[in-house]
Amino acid sequence: MIIEIRTYRLEPGTGESFAGLLRDRSVPMLRRSGIRVLDHGLSAVAEDGHEEAYLIRAFPDLETRVAQEDAFYGGDAWKTGPREEIVSRISSYHTIVLEVPEQAATSLAKDGAA
């Protein structure tokens, strides 16, 4: 099982609107495309005073991760949908990819999202 943890440093004052866009637009689109979203939201701590957010996704293997992300981010639904609204609120982002047992993915899932 592959877990991807993506963190976002946000433009000042955009935390709440970014979290809303993730919750209401991006995450439902990701799930409809078959990407398993475990959790997402705002960081409980503002590192160095910066608003930050996270997105945690799970994939069966690295190849599936690449294929699903390429299909999603290359698709018209993303490009003509919320892409610009979301990207404009991100100052920078960082992604960490881990290989973990399925139990780890299940334990990270928020609200039965797994």
Give the CATH architecture of domain 2-108.
Answer: 2-Layer Sandwich (3.30)
pLDDT by residue (tens digit) across 3-54? 999 999 999 999 999 999 999 999 999 999 999 999 999 999 888 889 999 9
Per-residue burial over 32-70, b if 16 or more Cβ lie within 10 Å, else e, is eeebbbbbbebbeeeeeebbbbebbbbbeeeeebeebbe
Least confident of 20-24, 93-97, 107-111: 107-111
Could you give phi then psi for residue 9, rounded to 5 degrees?
A: -90, 125
pLDDT tens-digit profile of 67-81?
999 999 999 999 999
Out of 7-11, 84-88, 101-105, pick the least confident: 101-105
Give the global pTM: 0.91
The pLDDT assigned to 57 comes to 97
